[in-house]
Amino acid sequence: MTISVENLETRQVDPTKPLLEVDRLVMHYKIKAGEVSAVEDVTFTVHQGEAVGLVGESGCGKTSVALSLMRLLPNNAEYVSGQIRLDGEDLLQLTDEEMRTRRWKDIAMVFQGAMNSWNPVYRVGDQIREVLDTHFRGQMTYEQQREHMERLFAAVGLPGEMLDRYPHEFSGGMRQRAVIAMALACSPQLIIADEPTTALDVIVQDQILKELKRIQTELGMSIIYISHDIAVIAEVTDSLGVMYAGKLVEYGPTTEVFARPKHPYAYLLLKSTPSITGPRRQLAPLEGEPPDLLAPPTGCRFHPRCPFATERCAIEEPPLADIGGGHRVACWHWEQVPDLEEALLR
């Protein structure tokens, strides 16, 4: 296939067809002190054209999931079990060389920290050109590459002449837009955006998120947003997953999870989040500390901090069960969790 400027046109999608299926994924890091249970039994699906969010505290495993999907884990990481199927093909069964051909072309990533994503001694355009050379060697002339990169920059709101600049000549927001342009270079089916607005002010943050959402909709791509900010994720996603201590504890339609969180952690996380649209209220802090993943608690990993916990929670691990409408919760006492709107009015 020869890539050209026309390849940025909308992809026809079937929203009922799964694109990415993560099935009971388990991944550990091996360190001197033992094994860190970073990703434990994570299961979710991303359909064609869908935007999925993963949220949770720092260290909960969000980025580890993203790097697992890209197979960009450090040497001390180990896939213990599970599958990562992209268009039905298990990425964990591919060789390193086969996986290298899938990155950027089928699955790409917007990495956290835009400045660190660029080599400071090369022009930005040359670094994007390297991606095109890797996947479409000999299929595009130098002029076609330039035209394609200018169209990519136009898609993210950057002038084409910025391709000839070095990373330090870009502002933070411009660097982040350029990272998005590079992720789009080979028209991937799926983009993973890991904290795509970190260290940006709220105005630029809003612009970047709207840009990503517009591009995703126009090009018919799927996208996974990763953030610790549940309010930001709620604005741009169709489905939302909440992670805690390496596990997915709640998953479902974003509007449903945001309005009626039924896992105590998700409920308390939202209750501790300020709102500029709702009534003034006293914020409720989330007490306690995340567990040590070298020796996670038995049963439900959240039970030491949970106000609804019983003896069963400390012994028996709850499954991620469907409670209706595709809303899944890993909690023995989810029915006791009040609706968020009622709780906020108290």
Residue 307 domain boundaries: 260-274+281-346
Exposure pattern of 271-283 as b/e (b: 16+ CB <10 Å)? beeeeeeeeeeee
Tell me the residue type at 176: Q
Question: For position 136, what pLDDT does the model report?
Answer: 85
Question: For position 10, what pLDDT does the model report?
Answer: 60
The candidate with the shortest Cα–Cα distance to 247, out of 294, 296, 307, is: 296
Question: For position 12, what pLDDT does the model report?
Answer: 78
- Relative to beta strand 222-227, strand 190-194 is parallel
How far is residue 117 CA from its own chain's centroid? 17
- Residues of the chain with confidence (pLDDT) below 50: 1-7, 343-346
Question: For position 8, what pLDDT does the model report?
Answer: 53
- Residue 302 covered by a domain: yes
- Residue 308 covered by a domain: yes
Element (H, E) at 98: helix 96-102
Long-range contacts of range 169-177, CB-CB < 8 Å, 24 or more positions apart? 170/124, 172/114, 172/115, 172/199, 172/200, 172/204, 173/200, 173/204, 173/207, 173/208, 175/114, 175/115, 175/117, 175/118, 176/110, 176/114, 176/200, 176/204, 176/208, 177/153, 177/208, 177/211
Q: 222 to each of 61, 152, 206, 330, how far by Cα in Å?
A: 21, 18, 20, 26
pTM of the full structure: 0.89
- Residue 312 covered by a domain: yes
Specify the number of domains making up the chain: 1
- Residue 157 covered by a domain: no
Exposure pattern of 218-231 as b/e (b: 16+ CB <10 Å)? ebbbbbbbbbbbbe
The candidate with the shortest Cα–Cα distance to 330, out of 18, 26, 44, is: 44
- Residue 298 covered by a domain: yes
- Residue 264 covered by a domain: yes
| Residue 216 to residue 191: CA distance in whole angstroms | 9
- Residue 250 covered by a domain: no
The pair phi, psi for residue 43, each rounded to 5°, is -135, 125
Q: Is the dihedral of CA 205, 114, 188, 1 positive or negative?
A: positive
| Residue 44 to residue 47: CA distance in whole angstroms | 10
The candidate with the shortest Cα–Cα distance to 331, out of 342, 23, 310, 344, is: 310
Question: For position 208, what pLDDT does the model report?
Answer: 78
- Residue 149 covered by a domain: no
